């Protein structure tokens, strides 16, 4: 997890995990629309997994 991805996850969470798969992207996009903080948390959790 690079610092660039963490900053991107804070600014626009779905863009930070675009290469992790379509399902992850859609989940984070939905959570971002429902609330910005849940989108950030989901993106950071997905980025933390290998």
pLDDT of residue 18: 92
- pLDDT tens over the chain, length 50 residues: 789 999 999 999 999 999 988 999 999 999 999 999 999 999 999 999 86
Taking residue 19's Cβ as centre, other Cβ atoms within 10 Å add up to: 8
Taking residue 46's Cβ as centre, other Cβ atoms within 10 Å add up to: 19
pTM of this prediction? 0.88
Q: Where are the domains of the chain?
A: 3-48
pLDDT of residue 36: 93
Q: Using a pLDDT cut of 70, give the percent of the chain over it.
A: 98
Residues composing the chain: 50
């Amino acid at each position: 997890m690079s610092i660039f991805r963490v900053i991107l996850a804070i600014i626009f969470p779905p863009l930070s995990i675009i290469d992790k798969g379509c399902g992850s992207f859609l989940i984070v996009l939905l959570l971002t629309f429902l609330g910005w903080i849940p989108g950030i948390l989901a993106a950071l959790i997905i980025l933390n997994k290998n």
